[in-house]
Amino acid sequence: MAKRVKKTRYADHFKEWEEITASGAVNAAELPQLELLRVALEKLLQEGRELSQQQAAHQAAKQESSKRLQTVMVEGGKLATVIRGGLKSHYGSRSEKLTEFGLQPFRGRQKKAKPAEPPVVPPPQPSAESLQPAPETDEP
């Protein structure tokens, strides 16, 4: 009994189908009831291989498209930056006309509120008692 292995790739399925159809063709005289099914599997095998090749070609084309898209994005970004600069130069950076092009005009900076300074506490004033001279004592 052959061990069944889980097939994860199309090629694994195609290989199995190829073995089945080849063996079925050799033994067609013994298995006339399966001949129509074998022919149908051969057709699907051929179509599957063609679709697999198309998929590979599409994948290669997709990679090429992705590379081109990256280049377009970089070049487009540079041109858009130059155009934005030209618009600001033409209309002025404060012109409201810039909003038509999706740009925000310069409207000045808003001043930040100064943080409240803590109140200045004056140093403690010496009291009247501390200003009086110390009493004199008679010590020999």
The one-digit pLDDT tens for each residue of the chain (140 residues) are: 556 666 678 999 999 999 999 999 999 999 999 999 999 999 999 999 999 999 999 999 999 999 999 999 999 999 999 999 999 999 999 999 999 999 999 998 887 777 777 777 777 776 666 666 666 666 55
Put simply, whether the predicted model's pTM sits higher than 0.85 gets the answer: no
Does a structural domain hold residue 137? no
Does a structural domain hold residue 111? no
Measure Cα distances from 92 to 54, 76, 77, 89, 106 in Å: 54, 23, 21, 5, 9
Please name which of 78, 75, 76, 100 lies closest in space to residue 88, comparing C-alpha atoms: 100
Measure Cα distances from 109 to 22, 70, 105 in Å: 81, 36, 12
Does a structural domain hold residue 26? yes
Does a structural domain hold residue 41? yes
Does a structural domain hold residue 102? yes
Does a structural domain hold residue 38? yes
Enclosing domain of residue 92: 10-106
Does a structural domain hold residue 127? no
Structural domain total, the chain = 1
Find the DSSP H helices in the chain.
10-26, 35-91, 128-131
